[in-house]
C-alpha cells in the first residue's frame, strides 16, 4: 500500500497555554502506511498543567479521533482512511470541558475547528483523588503473629490511653526508688556499701516482678535521677571536668572528685546511667566489689582503665557484671 504523508501547521486559538507567554507554534505530522496512521505532534513551548490534560482531535476522511497527548510521542491509529482528502488537528485542554488551544488543517479538511470540537466529550469526568488507607486498614496476611499497625490519632487527645502506659503507671512505686546516693557522699568508703546494698534491693523489687515484660519498662521516667539532681548540678558546676572516659562513652560528662570520677551517661539526650569511677588497680575497692565493671580508658586499650559503678537513672538499680 502507498505511503502517505501530510503536515498541519498549528495556529494558536486561545492564549495562556505557552510556557513563555508567546504564541504557540508547531505542526502535526500525519504518516500512513499499511493501514496504520502515525500522528506526531511537534508543538513548541506548550506549558505543563497541574490539573486536566492535553488531547488531540484529528480529522481523517470525515472521522474524528480523540488522542491523549503525551508530549512529542507518536500516536498510532489502526485501519484509518486515506490522507488523500487532507487532514486536520485540534489541540485541546481537557478539564471540565474541552477548550480549543491550537488548530491546523491541510487539503480539503474543514476550515473550522467546531466540527472537531463537537466530537469531544461534553464534559470530562472528574477523576477521584486517591486517598491512602489508614495503617490499621491496610491489607495484611492473616496469622496469629502478624501485628496490626496502630490507628491514626484523633484530634482532641487520647480518650483511651495505651495499655502499655497504664501498666507502666501501675508499676510505679514511691517506695521502690533507690534510697542511697553515692553522689551526696564526699568520698568512697566502706560505710557506703551497706546503705547502697539496701537501696539497690528496694529499687529493683518492682522491676524483678516484671523483668520479662517489655511493656512495663519505665525507661525515661528519671525518677532516681531527679532525687539527686540538685547535688549533681552543684557538683558538675563546681568540680573540674575530666575527659578520660569521653572516648569510651561519647555521650557522657565527667568531673573529678577526690580521686574518683562522677559521671552521667546519656541516651537519646536523657540521662541513662549515673556513674562513679576510680582508676583501676589490681582489684576494685572493697566498697565497689560485686558491682564494679572494668571500663577501658579508650576502645584501643585493654589494660588502662577504671573500675566503674553504674546506677539506672530511672530506678537507681545497679548494673551488675552479668547485666553488662
Q: Name 207's Cβ contacts closer than 8 Å, sequence gap at least 6.
A: 176, 218, 315, 317
Please determine, for residue 273, whether its predicted confidence score (pLDDT) is greater than 60.
Answer: yes
What does the pLDDT read at residue 292?
84
Does the pTM surpass 0.95? The reply is no
In degrees and rounded to multiples of 5, residue 184 shows phi and psi of -80, -25
Please determine, for residue 113, whether its predicted confidence score (pLDDT) is greater than 80.
Answer: yes
In the structure, what pLDDT confidence band is assigned to residue 88 with cuts at 50, 70 and 90? Answer: very high
Please determine, for residue 259, whether its predicted confidence score (pLDDT) is greater than 80.
Answer: yes
pLDDT in tens, 164-175: 454 444 444 444
Please determine, for residue 20, whether its predicted confidence score (pLDDT) is greater than 70.
Answer: yes
What does the pLDDT read at residue 17?
86
Q: Name 176's Cβ contacts closer than 8 Å, sequence gap at least 6.
A: 202, 203, 204, 205, 206, 207, 315
- Classified as helix, coil or strand, 94 is strand
Show the domains of the chain with their CATH numbers: 4-117 (2.60.40), 177-312 (no CATH)
In the structure, what pLDDT confidence band is assigned to residue 281 with cuts at 50, 70 and 90? Answer: confident
- Classified as helix, coil or strand, 134 is coil
> How far apart are alpha carbons 38 and 30 in whole angstroms?
6
Please determine, for residue 262, whether its predicted confidence score (pLDDT) is greater than 50.
Answer: yes
In the structure, what pLDDT confidence band is assigned to residue 139 with cuts at 50, 70 and 90? Answer: low
What is the average per-residue pLDDT within 244-273?
88
> How far apart are alpha carbons 252 and 245 in whole angstroms?
8
* Count of residues making up the chain: 324
Please determine, for residue 157, whether its predicted confidence score (pLDDT) is greater than 90.
Answer: no
Amino acid at each position: 500500500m502507498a505511503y502517505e504523508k501530510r503536515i498541519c501547521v498549528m495556529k494558536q486559538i486561545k492564549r495562556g497555554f505557552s510556557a513563555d507567554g508567546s504564541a504557540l507554534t508547531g505542526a502535526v505530522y500525519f504518516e500512513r502506511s499499511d493501514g496504520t496512521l502515525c500522528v506526531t505532534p511537534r508543538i513548541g513551548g506548550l506549558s505543563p498543567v497541574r490539573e486536566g490534560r492535553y488531547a488531540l482531535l484529528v480529522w481523517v476522511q470525515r472521522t474524528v479521533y480523540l488522542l491523549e497527548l503525551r508530549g512529542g510521542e507518536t500516536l498510532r491509529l489502526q485501519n484509518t482512511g486515506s490522507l488523500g482528502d487532507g487532514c486536520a488537528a485540534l489541540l485541546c485542554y481537557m478539564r471540565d470541558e474541552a477548550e480549543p488551544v491550537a488548530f491546523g488543517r491541510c487539503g480539503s479538511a474543514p476550515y473550522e475547528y467546531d466540527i472537531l470540537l463537537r466530537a469531544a466529550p461534553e464534559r470530562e469526568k472528574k477523576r477521584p483523588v486517591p486517598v491512602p488507607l489508614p495503617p490499621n486498614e491496610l491489607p495484611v496476611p492473616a496469622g496469629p503473629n502478624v501485628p496490626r499497625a496502630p490507628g491514626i490519632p484523633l484530634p482532641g487527645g487520647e480518650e483511651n490511653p495505651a495499655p502499655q502506659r497504664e501498666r507502666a503507671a501501675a508499676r510505679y512505686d514511691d517506695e521502690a526508688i533507690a534510697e542511697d546516693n553515692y553522689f551526696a557522699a564526699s568520698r568512697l568508703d566502706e560505710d557506703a556499701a551497706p546503705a547502697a546494698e539496701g537501696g539497690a534491693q528496694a529499687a529493683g523489687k518492682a522491676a524483678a516482678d516484671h523483668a520479662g515484660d517489655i511493656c512495663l519498662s519505665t525507661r525515661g521516667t528519671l525518677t532516681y535521677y531527679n532525687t539527686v539532681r540538685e547535688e549533681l548540678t552543684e557538683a558538675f558546676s563546681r568540680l573540674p571536668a575530666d575527659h578520660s572516659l569521653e572516648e569510651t562513652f561519647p555521650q557522657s560528662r565527667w568531673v573529678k572528685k577526690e580521686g574518683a570520677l562522677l559521671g552521667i551517661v546519656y541516651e537519646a539526650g536523657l540521662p541513662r546511667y549515673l556513674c562513679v569511677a576510680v582508676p583501676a588497680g589490681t582489684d576494685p575497692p572493697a566498697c565497689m566489689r560485686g558491682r564494679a565493671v572494668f571500663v577501658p580508658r579508650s576502645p584501643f586499650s585493654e589494660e588502662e582503665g577504671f573500675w566503674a559503678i553504674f546506677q539506672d537513672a530511672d530506678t537507681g538499680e545497679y548494673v551488675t557484671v552479668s547485666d553488662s
